[in-house]
Amino acid sequence: MDNFLSRLLRRGTDRFSLNLTVRMNLDLMNSHKEGGMALLLLRESIVGNGATWKNHPAAFVNFYYESESGEIVYFGVEPHIPSYILDAFKRKEYLKGGFRIAFFVKEQTQLIVGSFVKPLNDFAKKNLEETVTIYNARNAPE
């Protein structure tokens, strides 16, 4: 286990030990509000474009993120993306990414098993990687 994950699991993943961008990303991933990943997963078919992953049902979710910080700003698919998000994407202020999520039905949890992002800098890359690491640590099947 890498050093960061070991420290994280030892001290817990409470909201105050995480940087603001990662905290906001995790909040949006767990959100059932418009633009949240949890809401998008409820609306999308589980097997649609994600098919399966190691015999587990899977889904693929698209999202937009801030190009400099890696802050995820919206989960969704066109034509349901607000115009202000698409406008920022056209100006290259936001980039588009995706997560492949596997569902562990028996354990009633899910993990990100694929991350498809191309951040502009190491800071954004680190924030997105840390977001996935913590999300998976919190949702790991026992």
Structure tokens at 140: 């790991």
Contact 56, 113 (CB under 8 A): no
At 73-120, the pLDDT tens digits run: 999 988 889 999 999 999 999 999 999 999 888 888 889 988 898 888
At 34-81, the pLDDT tens digits run: 999 999 988 875 545 557 888 888 888 999 999 999 999 999 988 889
Contact 102, 53 (CB under 8 A): yes
Environment class of 109 (CB within 10 Å of its CB; exposed 0-12, middle 13-18, buried 19+): middle
DSSP state of 41: H
Top pLDDT among 13 and 95 is at 95
Contact 102, 113 (CB under 8 A): yes
- The model's pTM: 0.82
Structure confidence at residue 45 (pLDDT): 55
Structure tokens at 97: 């990414």
Environment class of 58 (CB within 10 Å of its CB; exposed 0-12, middle 13-18, buried 19+): buried
Task: Tell me how far apart the alpha carbons of residues 121 and 46 are, in angstroms, rounded to a whole number.
Answer: 32
pLDDT at 3 over 90: no
Structure tokens at 110: 């899910």
